[in-house]
Amino acid sequence: MLLASLQETDNLYRLLVLLHVLAVIVGFGSTFVYPLLGNEAKKHPGLEAKGISNANQVAGQRLTEPAIYAAGAFGVLLVIVGPFEWEDPWVGLSLVLYVAALLFSIFVHQPNLKRMDALVNELAAMGPPPGAAAGGPPAGGPPAGGPPPQVIEMEQRGKAAARNGGILHLAFAVILILMIWGARGGFA
């Protein structure tokens, strides 16, 4: 089979490596921007926060997720056609960690982010809090009852998003270390 015999010096193999690295940069690199955008949304409540949050969701679905899936697919293809073996410890560990992180993202992190986006949309639809148009809370302090429940839930979910994003970034860093040192014989 032609593909099973590719060497590291073959142009087709190099093209696959290039596509793998580009997918990694676009997919995983873009995830480091989202926490910054989330902080900006928090500073600008209402319609501005809604716009930032909605843009984050669209970018994640159209850019980040497909690139992360492509990175995994190209990585598997490189093992199949290249000089590495499934038995290489770094290959197996990287694949297990990638799949675990992917499942964690799909079933834990992304649902939380989608709920946060829905909360931002609900808060934007509610309009500014009473007294905000007059430059502050009404005389006598904030309105009775405290903030809307969406604000409290958003705070809790924001902390979970930070924790979950940190876990995923750590998984990415470990995979990167495994690939850089493992592929060069450092974990043999």
pLDDT 10s digits, 137-174: 555 555 567 899 999 999 999 999 999 999 999 999 99
Distance CA 49, CA 108 (A): 23
118-137 pLDDT, tens digit each: 999 999 999 887 656 555 55
Encoded tokens for 126: 């509610």
Contact 171, 101 (CB under 8 A): yes
Residue type, 128: P
Encoded tokens for 8: 């590291």
Q: Could you tell me which residues come within 8 angstroms of residue 151 by beta carbon, excluding any fewer than 6 positions away?
A: 123
Per-residue burial over 71-99, b = 16 or more CB atoms within 10 Å of its CB, e = otherwise: bbebbeebbebbebeeebebbebbbebbe
45-71 pLDDT, tens digit each: 899 999 999 999 999 999 999 999 999
Q: 23: part of which helix (H) or strand (E)?
A: helix 11-31
pLDDT score for 184: 75
Distance CA 61, CA 65 (A): 6
64-115 pLDDT, tens digit each: 999 999 999 999 999 999 888 899 999 999 999 999 999 999 999 999 999 9
